[in-house]
A and B are shown apart, each in its own frame.
Chain A
Amino acid sequence: MAFPVQITPDKAIHELTEINQKIIKGIEQLSNIKEDDVQVGITPKDMVFQEGKLKLYRYRPLVEKPFKIPLLFSYALVNRYMVADLQEDRSLIRNLLNEGIDVYLIEWGDPTRKDKWLMLDDYVNDFLDTCVDFIREQHDLEKINLLGICQGGTLATCYTALHPDKVQNLVLTVTPIDFHADKEEERDDWGLLNVWARNLDIDVMIDAVGNPPAELLNFSFMLVKPMSLNVRKYTDMVNILDNEKALMNFLRMEKWLFEGPDHPGEAYRQFVKDFFQGNKLIKNEVMLGDQRVDLGNITMPVLNCYANQDNLVPPKSTKALGKYVGSDDYTELEIPAGHIGFYVSGRAQKMLAPGIANWLKERD
């Protein structure tokens, strides 16, 4: 039986020396990076509508004749939309523009304590609806295309079920639909956030903090894999310190991860209770204002895109939509990536935007 650790003195010293050299070089490099150098969400856009904190952007087209029907992005209330436009060569938005899609995006605005009382009803039936109406009027269209990202996809799903007359095509990306589907997963580390949320006393949390802070939400994400996301990520970072491009990619992702907004309190209370705990969406029991969300009302074409390695929103949670929508034109697009890699990985760049654009073109 061989002794399992065969790290020879010369190899250990060499390895540590190499690490030290990289660290020194890397810190020098890091120290020269100024705030303006780490930019995310830089694809050119114009704010075309504003109401309070709500902003609607239209991206400047990158082709001469974009598609007739514009596509509106509905982002989550957690983190920021920049994950869809992290940098020039890792941008779902830019890729869609290159494919000829006319892209609009909603920025919900950072909630402060006064926004604690905003409900999901406000986000869906007021903010999202206002933006949809604005675009419809601008383009003189009855219906537009809607794309949801993660929790923003859940909101987009609710919106579409309540306003089917305004949505031409629905595109969802890594969107939780069945919030208890993780129970069917074989891996314990898939859907841990669902497990935690189901066991959370959300009332006492919202009553105490008002709006759950971004730091707390982020902490929960990182707790899922404590070593990989808190230690290993940074020990691995040593290996890219001498590669300026890779280092900047890393820092942009860090910026996106750690600079999210707080979550509006009452909306979060409802999201945890009705979606995570009650799993009411698939039961058609979610109430937004006085309206019931019935997934059967989604009769327009649906493209449901998911990441096959997604441990935060497991594929089964996303794919469940196919069982509940009323549409005869339902398509799934699998991307070989995790929840974040879905938007930023090299492979996703080649698959996601073309997949969405082609699907839309066929239905334009």
Chain B
Amino acid sequence: MDWTKQAETMMQTWGEAQKKAWENWYDLMRGASNSNGSPFGFYPDVMKQWQEMSLQTLNAWTAGADPTAQNAARQMMASQESMMRFMQSITQAWQAIAPKVQAGEDWQSVLRDYSNQYFQSMMGAPTGFMSAGKDINELFQFYIQEWQKMGQPWMQSFLQSPTNLSHIMMGGSSELAQLSKFHWDVYERTFGGMTEVPGMGYNRELNAKLLRGFDSWVDMQKVSAEYHTVLTRTFSNAFESFMGKLVALSEKGEVIDSIQDLANLYFDTVDETFTKLYVSQDYLDLQNNLAKAGMTNKMRQREIFEVFQEMLDMPTRSELDDAYRTLNDLRREVKALKRALKAQDQPKAAAKSTRKTSTSTRRKTAAKKSNGATPEETAEAAKSEK
């Protein structure tokens, strides 16, 4: 059997299937949404069409629906898109390696080159696995969301930056430098000017905190880039491993004949590969560094803003935390006092009920024990009276 021909057929099959799927999809969506929508024509990038149309219609359809249902619908669409992308990549990969496999030559190195290229482009894409789940960048948005609100000028530098994290993820140090430069520009335009004023007190304090804040911000970007690079490499490894499994299947004479089965094999392989990564000490160190860098940066930003809050006589996060701590300590004390009072009342109640049935000697004992005793002693006395 000619594998090169088979791979070509598979490519044609997928192209045809995509085209047909798109036509069906378009018809169905138009029919279901009962709207004319945008006049999409068929063009080669099915994924882009899929994404554009599904976003457009999904938002319109699910407006007013339960938020959980809305989210599930979005995740489902993103997952389908992931699956389609995966199918596209696998057909391309087979075209690259099929002749080598059949000739018994080194197909692994061809696959490695291919998968490296593919997954680097995938990590840079706005869709795919990361958007199907909770995006890693989303996690970072959480890490920084509090200071993001207050640090608008700083965030602007990030958002307006001509580069983005995905470039940094690929290990580009020039992008990192460019990003840092942009950040410095904003710093110069905002807080930087103030720190140049020779002075005492706030300015000196602010200057030191700004520098520390900037350092932590750059540290966070570096660790983030490193983390994403490791994830990308792991995806690449998973893809290679998956293709290896397919070759192994063929050696056993087994075949996969449905898109769903093929995708499931891939999903399982990715999870297995990530599990191996997760338990490695290198990953654990990196994950901890990532969390630490994000958290440290958050604290440094808070320190900066607290300087301004103090200047404007506004309460700071640290002051509020202190106040809450005091409130909580007081709450504990009040609760302990209430318990002690209750424990003191219990022997009295016990004594009252005892009076009805007990001798005068026992009454005296109970009264003696509750008089001036600690709550624990009085509670103990009450128990013994029972």
Contact = CB atoms under 8 A, between A and B. Distances in A.
Interface in A79-121: 113-118
A21 B129 contact: no
A244 interface: no
A87 to B, nearest CB: 14
Contacts of A3: 1, 3, 6-7, 10, 98, 250, 255
Interface string B253-268: 1111111101110111
A228 B247 contact: no
Contacts, number: 266
A255 interface: yes
Contact of B21 (A17, A27, A204): A17
A230 B80 CA distance: 12
A25 B73 CA distance: 11
Interface in B51-81: 57-58, 61-73, 75-80
A162 to B, nearest CB: 14
B139 A219 contact: yes
- Chain B interface size range: 35 or more
Given A30-B70, A31-B61, A199 B288 contact: yes
Nearest to A241: B76
The 8 A-B pairs of least Cβ separation, nearest first, read: A230-B133, A234-B79, A208-B295, A16-B21, A4-B250, A12-B17, A3-B6, A227-B267
B332 A122 contact: yes
A213 to B, nearest CB: 6
Interface in A223-247: 224-235, 237-238
B14 interface: yes
B94 A231 contact: no
Given A7-B10, A226-B129, A234-B80, 4 more contacts: A4-B249, A27-B58, A32-B65, A199-B284
A117 to B, nearest CB: 4
A contact residues, range: 35 or more
A235 B335 CA distance: 52
Contacts of B279: 188, 192, 195
A40 B253 CA distance: 48
A344 B78 CA distance: 27
B20 A208 contact: no
A231 B129 contact: yes
13 contacts: A1-B251, A4-B247, A7-B256, A15-B258, A20-B21, A20-B25, A33-B65, A33-B69, A117-B329, A201-B291, A231-B133, A233-B75, A254-B71
Nearest to A201: B292
Contacts of A15: 258-260
B165 to A, nearest CB: 17
Contacts of A204: 291-292, 295-296, 299
Residue from A4, A12, A238 having most chain B Cβ neighbours under 10 A: A4
A23 to B, nearest CB: 7
B193 to A, nearest CB: 28
A189 interface: yes
Contacts of B32: 24-25, 27-28
Nearest to B259: A15
A199 B299 CA distance: 21
A2 B253 contact: yes
Contacts of B327: 114
A200 B288 contact: yes
A324 interface: no
Nearest to B58: A27
B325 interface: yes
A136 to B, nearest CB: 13
A364 interface: no
B275 A5 contact: no
A13 B76 CA distance: 20
A231 B129 CA distance: 7
A113 B320 contact: yes
B24 A20 contact: yes
B334 to A, nearest CB: 11
B287 A232 contact: no
A38 interface: yes
Contact of B256 (A5, A20, A26, A232): A5
Contact of A235 (B73, B80, B328): B80
B324 A117 contact: yes
A28 B61 contact: yes
B43 to A, nearest CB: 18
B310 interface: no
Contacts of A4: 246-247, 249-250, 254-256
Contacts of B96: none
B285 interface: yes
A339 B170 CA distance: 37
Given A7-B256, A27-B73, A205 B80 contact: no
Given A7-B13, A8-B13, A250-B72, A227 B270 contact: yes
Contacts of A20: 21, 24-25, 28
Contacts of B66: 33-35, 37-38, 251
B76 A234 contact: yes
A7 B133 contact: no
Contacts of A35: 66-67
Interface in A170-216: 188-189, 192, 195-196, 199-201, 204-205, 207-210, 213, 215-216
B298 interface: yes
B291 A205 contact: yes
A9 B13 contact: yes
A238 B62 contact: no
A207 B295 contact: yes
B274 interface: yes
B82 interface: yes
